[in-house]
């Protein structure tokens, strides 16, 4: 079912990477390069990913050499005025190294890809729908911080919030960073909807899957799925779709259901829904393979769909804690404003340790 790409996060051979970059640059210089736009864009994306594997490290080495020269000059001239600049540059180098080191943990074949994210409200009615809206805002802020692009594919609103929402996040290494966000997110707080000001617990599920490209093949036969059409929902008035342009796909074997209604064209919605279904099926079959391998393992940590991964406590104290990595912070407002990188990095280190 799967055909792998030759380059992903775990491979680092500078000579091979530079040679591949030269080959791709020669291809981009071909007068006929843009005759096939889709193929050309894929080549440019590969070139960018290849260069991103070695150029940042080369730049870091140059920064270190420049700092060593500056330090040597300061020592030679016995000039303490360089101290502040040296310390500032040293901190910048340490931060850059930490960031590059985290990226090197992204070794799975789907890590460089964009991602589909779906958030569903759990039990709790209005409370859970409000919690889903809060999570959507949190991820939207994180996406803005990273400079990624986001497009909503399906949205089901509810009184007090969002019942479910699906969106695509485009950018380099998006799936690698977001893959650890899949699971159940738990909220504890004093309900703003409860006149008695009682404490409530709400749940929402997050599902993350890669936007499959040509390096990975997922075969879906027409007889494997059911296709349903329906009228897209909206805020009312002119925004209500009066034709059955929305699409719902149901995969019989896995039970996976995906839907799309953001386009006015039924054909476009179906094409996007199929893309999402392939993405979800890739994850489904990958998890089945992991479950088979787990049967022979002495210990296997449950990090799959359906497991609670993180708690967000607003009362009686403030804390966000990841139950897998044990990483936590008391600055819950920063997290809800999109400061997710510490949790993402902690998960990547946890995953690396679990696999080595």
Q: Give the count of beta carbons closer than 10 Å to the beta carbon of residue 273.
A: 25
Token duo for residue 290: 């992991």
Length reported for the chain: 356
User: Nearest 5°: phi and psi at 2?
Assistant: -120, 135
pLDDT band at 332 (very low <50, low <70, confident <90, very high): very high
Query: What digits encode the pLDDT tens for the residues 248-299?
Result: 999 999 999 999 988 888 999 999 999 899 989 988 888 887 776 555 443 3
Identify which of 119, 118, 143, 109 has the alpha carbon closest to the alpha carbon of residue 2: 109
- The residue ranking higher by pLDDT, 346 or 2, is 346
Mean pLDDT of 296-309: 48
CATH number of 115-294+306-354: 3.30.70.1660
Secondary structure in 3-state letters for 71-91? HHHHHHHCCHHHHHHHHHHHH
Report how far residue 81's alpha carbon sits from residue 327's, in angstroms, rounded to the nearest whole number.
Answer: 39
Q: What is the pLDDT of residue 234?
A: 54
Report how far residue 239's alpha carbon sits from residue 261's, in angstroms, rounded to the nearest whole number.
Answer: 12
Token duo for residue 95: 């931060």
Same fold, 14-103 and 115-294+306-354: no
Distance spanning both ends of the chain, measured CA to CA: 26
Report how far residue 128's alpha carbon sits from residue 123's, in angstroms, rounded to the nearest whole number.
Answer: 6
CATH number of 14-103: 1.20.58.410
Indicate the pairing of strand 246-251 with strand 225-230: antiparallel
Neighbouring-strand partners of residue 194: none
Query: What digits encode the pLDDT tens for the residues 132-145?
Result: 999 999 999 999 99
Indicate the pairing of strand 308-313 with strand 183-190: parallel
Query: What digits encode the pLDDT tens for the residues 34-93?
Result: 999 888 988 888 888 788 888 988 999 999 999 999 999 999 988 888 899 999 999 999
Report how far residue 30's alpha carbon sits from residue 34's, in angstroms, rounded to the nearest whole number.
Answer: 9
Report how far residue 232's alpha carbon sits from residue 260's, in angstroms, rounded to the nearest whole number.
Answer: 9
Query: What digits encode the pLDDT tens for the residues 206-264?
Result: 999 999 866 677 889 999 999 999 887 654 434 445 567 899 999 999 999 999 988 88
**Domain segments of the chain: what residues?**
14-103, 115-294+306-354
Computed over every residue of the chain, the mean pLDDT equals 85
pLDDT band at 307 (very low <50, low <70, confident <90, very high): low
Q: What is the pLDDT of residue 13?
A: 74
């Amino acid at each position: 079912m799967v055909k792998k790409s030759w380059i992903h996060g775990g491979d680092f051979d500078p000579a091979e990477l530079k040679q591949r970059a030269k080959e791709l640059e020669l291809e981009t210089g071909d007068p006929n390069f843009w005759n096939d736009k889709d193929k050309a864009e894929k080549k440019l994306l590969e070139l960018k990913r290849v260069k991103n594997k070695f150029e940042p490290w080369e730049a870091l080495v140059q920064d270190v050499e420049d700092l060593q020269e500056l330090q040597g000059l300061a020592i030679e001239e016995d000039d303490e005025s360089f101290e502040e600049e040296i310390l500032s540059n040293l901190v910048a180098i340490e931060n850059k190294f930490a960031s590059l080191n985290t990226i090197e943990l992204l070794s799975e074949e789907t890590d460089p890809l964009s991602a589909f994210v779906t958030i569903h409200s759990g039990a709790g009615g209005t409370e859970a729908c409000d919690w889903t809206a809060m999570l959507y805002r949190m991820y939207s802020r994180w996406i803005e911080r990273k400079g990624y692009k986001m497009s909503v594919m399906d949205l089901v609103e509810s009184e007090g919030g969002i019942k479910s929402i699906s969106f695509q996040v485009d950018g380099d290494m998006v799936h690698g960073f977001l893959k650890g966000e899949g699971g159940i997110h738990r909220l504890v707080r004093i309900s703003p909807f409860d006149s008695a000001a009682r404490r409530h617990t709400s749940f929402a599920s997050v599902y993350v899957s890669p936007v499959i490209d040509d390096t990975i093949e997922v075969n879906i036969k027409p007889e494997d799925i059911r296709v349903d059409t329906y009228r897209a929902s909206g805020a009312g008035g002119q925004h209500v779709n009066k034709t059955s342009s929305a699409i719902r796909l149901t995969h019989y074997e896995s039970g996976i259901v995906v839907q799309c209604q953001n386009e006015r064209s039924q054909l476009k919605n179906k094409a996007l829904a199929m893309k999402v279904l392939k993405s979800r099926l890739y994850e489904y079959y990958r998890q089945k393979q992991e479950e088979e391998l787990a049967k022979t393992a002495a210990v296997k940590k449950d990090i799959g769909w359906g497991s609670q991964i993180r708690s967000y406590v607003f009362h009686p104290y403030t804390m966000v804690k990841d139950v897998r990595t044990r990483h936590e912070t008391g600055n819950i407002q920063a997290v809800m404003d999109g400061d997710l990188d510490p949790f993402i990095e902690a998960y990547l280190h946890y995953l690396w340790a679990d696999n080595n």
